[in-house]
Structures are given as structure tokens and as C-alpha cells.
Amino acid sequence: MEIILAKRTQTVKISPIREIFEMASKTPGLVRLEVGQPDFPTPTHILEVAREALQEGHIGYSSAAGMPETRQALAKRLKEDYGFIFDADTEAVICNGASAAIYLTIRATIDPGDEVLRPDPGWAQYDGVIRDADGIPVLYPLIPEKGFAPDFDALQNLVTSRTKAIIVNSPSNPTGGIIEKGQLELLLEFATKNGILVISDEAYDKIIYDKEHVPLALLEQQRERVITAGSCSKNYAMCGWRIGYAIGPAAIMEQVMKFQSLVNICPNYIAEKAAFAAFNSPQTATAEMRNEYKGRRDVFIKGLNEIPGIKCAMPEGAFYAFADVSAYNMDDWDFTRYLINEVGVTCIPGSSFGEKGKGFVRFSYASSQENLDEGIRRMKEHLPKLL
Ligand SMILES: Cc1ncc(COP(=O)(O)O)c(C=O)c1O
């Protein structure tokens, strides 16, 4: 029998980054700097609460929007941290990661043929999510010389009658850039003028150095067009727990909750208990991890810039270094293959994040200082030969 597959399976592509993982997993002794997740364990006070919940043994369904107590704890956390106030009963849904928050929001708001603007370079997963809703991803350029801020002229030129939403991501994967308050205001003005939604991906909101994170929703008075996607994954070293959240207008959150109930019924009970502990306790562990990343960032970026041919701006958030390697006479994919096969260091080619990432590669410094130092040492030894 012919295999039965939906047409959608042809339009949704999985990330080309898989090639890198496959190459990396076959080669022993590599310094792995491609992995985009904290190298710290989940803080013990969070593990403890999850253990207690397991011990109790009453592990049932929670509400489709997530446990009321976890939503309340999230509301308290964001109020305390940013003065971000919302109704935890009607304006927040706990989801399986920021990924699910974004996926369900797109499902709830995008019709076939609708266009969704997403940053270039930006997290390539957005494209698959938009296509899965039969929408069309439209990439808007960020300007490297301006700390990867959006190019507003280009942005306006990309708007058509089908434009329905814009995805904004700060701190950014892959650039490590943050969007300043003034720029966020301009983005909101742009969205308001064009009557479109803003999906603000703030999955790295607490991994920000020297500056203050500003939730985009805080700048909106009417509270009608911004949906915030957040996550426990990076802030609390909880990637595998799969907890994040969507916050936005009640009418949209009701639909997000409906779609969540179709896929998952509700988030994972134990993980929600753990998320409650993460939100509801002092943020010391997060601050410690941030300080550690900051120390590594300073040393790693300095090391990168000492390598002839590499230029890397100082990232202001997340744990990524987006390095310009265009001086080497090869494209970013060939550079990555060379780095893996000949130098023994892994990274992600910049063009896998969009056209504007060409000539760049992404390193993650969520890795031990020892690994990072060894990575720099290997690159210093091998790369100058290529020039
Ligand atoms: C920009 C961005 N948004 C969202 C996510 C998804 O995070 P989560 O683990 O919460 O689904 C990631 C994960 O790498 C990311 O880089």
C-alpha cells in the first residue's frame, strides 16, 4: 500500500541543523559548542518540590490552561520582576515550553495564506510552525552593524494585505542581541499601524547581561495585540521538563487553551509543580547561572576576536556568540564542516537561521570554561592557516 501522508508533510521541513548533530555524534573528541541548552542541572530546590509531588503520588490531569497555582506563581514572578501585570485566570496558559506556546498561538491566530514576519537571522523553528498552520513565513532582516536591530524600512516594505503577525525575539537566538526599549516601542507602533499581532518570544528573558529585560507586552496600553511566549527551559535549566507559557488577550488565550487540550489535555503535572517552585522561590540560582554565563561570555568572545578572520560582537543576552567568519574563503556550511572535521569544534552555520545569517556561525557558551578554552585553543591553532 502506498504510504498515506498529508501534503503538509512536504511543506514543513525539519531543521538542516540535524546534519551537524549527526556529524558531531559520529566524531569522538569534539568540543561541542553547538548545543543550545544550559549545562547546569535544574536547581535542587526545584527538584525537591518535584520529588515531593512524586512521593505524594496523586498525579492527575490539571486544568487545560495549567494549574491555577502555577499560573498565579508566574503572575507574581513577572509582576515582581518587571511590573508586568495580567490576569492569571484568563490571560495565561502554561504550555509544554515556549515552543508549544508559539505553536498554539500560531494555530489559534493564523489562517491558510496568512503571512507571519519572523526575524532573519532567527530561530528557524518558527518557519515550520507557521507552515504547519498553512501560513507563510516572511523573513525580516536584522542589521548586524546595529546590534542586530530590526531594519524598519525593510520591515514596512514586507507588509502585504495578508500580513497577520510579527514574531519578535529578544534576547535573540542566534545573535545574543537584545532589542532596546525604544526599538520595542517602534515595533509595537509598526504592529499597531498595520493592525497585526505581535508574538514576543522571550524564552531567554532572564539571561541578559548589564541591561534590563523589557517585556514587550508592558509597553502596550490596550493589551490587545501582544502575546508573550516564555519558558522555564533556559532561565531555570529546565529544558527537559517542557514548561513554558503564553500570556495574552483572554480571547486568544481561550483558543490557545482549547488547542492545548486537543494535543496534550494539560501540561505535565510534575513539571508544573516544578515550574511553580521555579517561579515561587528566590531567583538566586538563575542569577548565579547568569553570572557564570557572563564570565564565560567575556572570556570566549575575547578569545574569538583574537583569532585572525573572526569578528564577534559582544552578545547582550542568551548564551550564543554569533561570529562573522566571512573572511575565510568558504561559506558558513563549509566552514562548519571544516571546524568539525579538521579543528574538532562544533558550531551551527548562520544561514540555517535565515539568509542574513550567511557568513556567520553560532557558538553556544553554555558549556564549561574548560571546553570553551579548549575550543578557542583549537581554533587559534588551525584557523589562521585558512587565510
Ligand atoms: C528563541 C527560542 N524560542 C523558544 C525556544 C523553545 O524553548 P522551550 O524549551 O521553552 O520550548 C528556544 C529553544 O531553543 C529558542 O531558542
In the chain, domain spans: 8-42+285-386, 44-280
Architecture field, domain 8-42+285-386: Alpha-Beta Complex (3.90)
Distance 291 CA to ligand 1 centre (A): 21
Residues with CB under 6 A from ligand 1: 36, 97-99, 123, 169, 173, 201, 203, 231, 233, 239, 244
Distance of CA 47 to the CA centre of its chain: 23
- Which long-range contacts (C-beta less than 8 Å, at least 24 apart) are formed by 75-84? 76/279, 76/280, 77/279, 77/280, 78/215, 78/247, 81/206, 81/283, 82/213, 82/214, 82/215, 82/218, 83/218, 84/215, 84/217, 84/218
Distance 98 CA to ligand 1 centre (A): 6
Distance 385 CA to ligand 1 centre (A): 36
Q: What is residue 171's three-state secondary structure?
A: coil
Per-residue exposure over 136-150, b if at least 16 CB sit within 10 Å of its own CB, e if not: bbbbbbbebeebbbb
The pTM is what? Answer: 0.97
Distance 326 CA to ligand 1 centre (A): 27
From 93, 94, 99, 178, give the residue whose CB has the most ligand 1 atoms within 8 Å, as the site to mutate: 99
One CATH from 1.10.3720.10, 3.10.330.20, 3.40.640.10, 3.40.50.880 for 44-280: 3.40.640.10
The pLDDT tens digits along the chain (387 residues) read: 889 999 888 888 877 777 788 888 888 899 999 988 999 999 999 999 999 999 999 999 999 999 999 999 999 999 999 999 999 999 999 999 999 999 999 999 999 999 999 999 999 899 999 999 999 999 999 998 888 899 999 999 999 999 999 999 999 999 999 999 999 999 999 999 999 999 999 999 999 998 999 999 999 988 899 999 999 999 999 999 999 999 999 999 999 999 999 999 999 999 999 999 999 999 999 999 999 999 999 999 999 999 999 999 999 999 999 999 999 999 999 999 999 999 999 999 999 999 999 999 999 999 999 999 999 999 999 999 998
